[in-house]
Amino acid sequence: QTVQNTDTGYELWLNYKPVQDLPLKQSYIQLYSQVNLPQCKYDEVIAEELKGCLKATLGITPRFISNTRASIQMSYCKDKSLGMEGYLIRNNNNKIILQAYSDAGFLYGTFHLIRLIQCEYPLDRLNIREVPALDYRQLNHWDDLNGNIERGYAGKTLWKWDELPERLDERYTDYARANASIGINGVVLNNVNADPRILRRDYLKKVSALAHILRKYNIRIYLAANFAAPMKPSSTPDVMKKWGGVGELDTANPLDPNVQEWWNTKVDEIYSLIPDFGGFLVKANSEGMPGPQDYHCTHAEGANVLARALKPHGGIVIWRTFVYNPQIDKDRIKRSYKEFLPLDGKFDENVILQAKNGALDFQPIEPAQPLFGAMKQTSLMPELQITQEYIGQSTYLVYLAPMWKEFLNFDTYCKGAGSNITKIITGKVYPTKYRAMAGVANTGDSNNWTGHHFAQANWFAFGRLAWNPKETIEKITSEWIKSTWNCDRSAERVITQMMMPTWNNYARSHSPYSLGLTTQVSCHYRAGFDIRANKEWKIDNKGIGTNRTFNGTDYVSQYFPTNCTHFNDIKQCPELYLLCFHYVPWNHLMKSGDTFEKEFVESLKQGVQQVEENIQLWRSIREKIDSRRFEEVMNCLLKEQQDAKAFYESAVGFFSAYLPHK
Ligand SMILES: CO[C@H]1[C@H](O)[C@@H](O)[C@H](O)O[C@@H]1C(=O)O
């Protein structure tokens, strides 16, 4: 029989449904029926969330009482090491004790209490201690003021600029709830290709209205700032042109006192409207955006002007390292490291640099950006991409958690073996003032938020990994599935089986062995081998790939010795990264004993095989999933199948001209 639709598709993982297991349900009812709330900043939203959850999952309305008889006791404790956001949960003689040192700990602890029910965990031996490993856990929205989302595949922006600040869409609160439930505590509202108008007073008032909602959930707002903002508005309103600002000056030169004054005044104005404003995110001198180099100044000189304006208010500057310039570096992958490493130590203390996980550009697979581990005196935070720009957008089911783990576990060897990215960003290798991570959001106004139901898992996993980069994928995945699909264990196993291999298979079929840039130039979706060949990588009848070794572009030398030696040697280079570092002869012998050609050809097939398997698997649990979501996912899978086939055919058509054995 088909499971009836009872939801709107809007709930995400906060999809509260009746607990099925009756003995467990009884135990939950006993333990969750009376709550002793602390008097804290978040007690209203905590009570609201608990009421909604407990009504739907257990059919009860909890009583909020302020004495020690309550079955859930929330109270402050003196354990300073819990910090601003950590919490403890214990079962003490059949009472649940939630303790925190600071207010936000209760908020996150409450979502944990809720997750225990959603995932049907037993409560008899609770002994939980959670402290986030990173303090700044942020979403970056590439949302334009006209409602479009750059590289967004889930509809238009969630921010209704035309209606703000008067009308507040109910989704703002749900967005905040979802983020709080996975630990996100900062959001950049607008695109890094920043329209300067976001800094105009009328927009700041709209931003302030959003901040009012988000702060109820411990989320701070940040804005992407256009470096040319202090300049006069231009007659050609092109955000990429340095002469279009919202100020009154003729320059944005960071050394000009008027420019510095402009930023100081603007920042004061922002804080008068948004007292807990987080700071600016800046894309400068990158892909046409204005920046300090327009005035022969360095990134540090530019960033520091903004940092000094923010400093008295406790705000920060997040400065992106995503720069490339084929005129200076023919191999664009090298630029970021060359431009930023010499500036290590030159940034003010409230500046964080933000680097994409890889040095090229959010490819399906890339070795880690070599700046990680190399920057020793500047906080460096990873920018991951939740939106699947090069990874099948909102059509393909690709679960990115395994890719992010690969990155987080990447050993830089900066201080010997074991200096992986997780240790670096959590300050375990060098002391770092800011421990932070950002993800480019995949949300939009589509009914299910992310375009594909399964893309919600990437948003969820990003938040959970930003909270704890060491959390196991198994746990994150299982908890997402249970709280999203409300399904039984056997369906959970099937869904896990669907999700887990998707990234690997996508990468193997769409960007085999880290070939990179294989899609068409503007859509980043359909196959573009013919356009990219012998521009982005080399191919001929003898082999394929980019020689980035000592006798090639020498990109390998940006890595610490052990990696450098390994990557430089075709025999030692991890096969996963082979084509990123080497021009590989088709007849090169792989670890398997097969030729590279044979493996490569096999690899290309993995995309179609994956989706065909997923269609079967999804069909097998039709009875376990509500019919609307079942159909919606099935439609995506069928579209994915079509597109994966087209991609494959295009690949085969292209490569057959070069492969020795056709
Ligand atoms: C926001 O612009 C994006 C651009 O759309 C994207 O194609 C490229 O990957 O990266 C840019 C960036 O990260 O700045």
Ligand 1 atom closest to 192 (CA): 1
Q: Which of 188, 190, 227, 287 to mutate to test the pocket of ligand 1 (most atoms within 8 A of CB)?
A: 287
CA distance 33 to 23: 16
| Distance of CA 355 from the midpoint of ligand 1 (Å) | 12
Give 405-463 pLDDT, tens digit per residue: 999 999 999 999 999 999 999 999 999 999 999 999 999 999 999 999 999 999 999 99
Is 322 close to ligand 1, i.e. is its CB under 6 Å away?
Answer: yes
Residue 486 CA neighbour count, 13 Å, CB half = 23
CB 65 within 8 Å of CB 95: no
CA distance 152 to 389: 8
CB 281 within 8 Å of CB 224: yes
Q: Which of 144, 149, 150 to mutate to test the pocket of ligand 1 (most atoms within 8 A of CB)?
A: 150
Q: Is the pLDDT of residue 149 over 90?
A: yes
Q: Which of 190, 195, 361, 536 to mutate to test the pocket of ligand 1 (most atoms within 8 A of CB)?
A: 361
Residue 380 CA neighbour count, 13 Å, CB half = 28
Tokens for 580, please give them.
């990123």
Average of per-residue pLDDT across 80-105: 97
Ligand 1 atom closest to 286 (CA): 14
Tokens for 62, please give them.
């909890």
This model of the complex carries an ipTM of 0.99
Place of tokens 């990234």: 503
Note the pLDDT of residue 1. 40
Burial profile 31-61: b = 16 or more Cβ within 10 angstroms, e = fewer? bbbbbbbbebbbbebbeebbeebbebbbeee
Active site residues: 287, 361, 389
Note the pLDDT of residue 231. 95
Which residue, 196, 354, 220, is CA-closest to 276? 220
CA distance 132 to 435: 10
CA distance 654 to 662: 11
| Distance of CA 414 from the midpoint of ligand 1 (Å) | 28
Q: Which of 322, 440, 521, 536 to mutate to test the pocket of ligand 1 (most atoms within 8 A of CB)?
A: 322
Domains of the chain: 22-130 (3.30.379.10), 136-485 (3.20.20.80), 504-655 (3.90.1330.10)
Q: Is the pLDDT of residue 213 over 60?
A: yes
- In angstroms, the Cα distances linking 51 to 76, 87, 103 are 22, 21, 19
Which residue, 4, 7, 47, 139, is CA-closest to 460? 139
Give 377-407 pLDDT, tens digit per residue: 999 999 999 999 999 999 999 999 999 999 9
| Distance of CA 32 from the midpoint of ligand 1 (Å) | 46
Ligand 1 atom closest to 356 (CA): 13
Note the pLDDT of residue 326. 87
- CA torsion sign for 362, 363, 368, 369 is negative
Residue nearest to atom 9 of ligand 1 (CA): 361
Is 150 close to ligand 1, i.e. is its CB under 6 Å away?
Answer: yes
Ligand 1 atom closest to 142 (CA): 1
The DSSP bridge pattern shows strands 87-91 and 96-100 to be antiparallel
Note the pLDDT of residue 352. 98
| Distance of CA 546 from the midpoint of ligand 1 (Å) | 22
Is 332 close to ligand 1, i.e. is its CB under 6 Å away?
Answer: no
What is the chain's alpha carbon radius of gyration, rounded to the nearest angstrom?
25
| Distance of CA 385 from the midpoint of ligand 1 (Å) | 10
Give 234-271 pLDDT, tens digit per residue: 877 787 776 689 999 999 999 999 999 999 999 999 99
| Distance of CA 158 from the midpoint of ligand 1 (Å) | 20
Q: Is the pLDDT of residue 508 over 90?
A: yes
Residue 377 per-residue DSSP state: S
CB 324 within 8 Å of CB 359: no
Ligand 1 atom closest to 150 (CA): 5
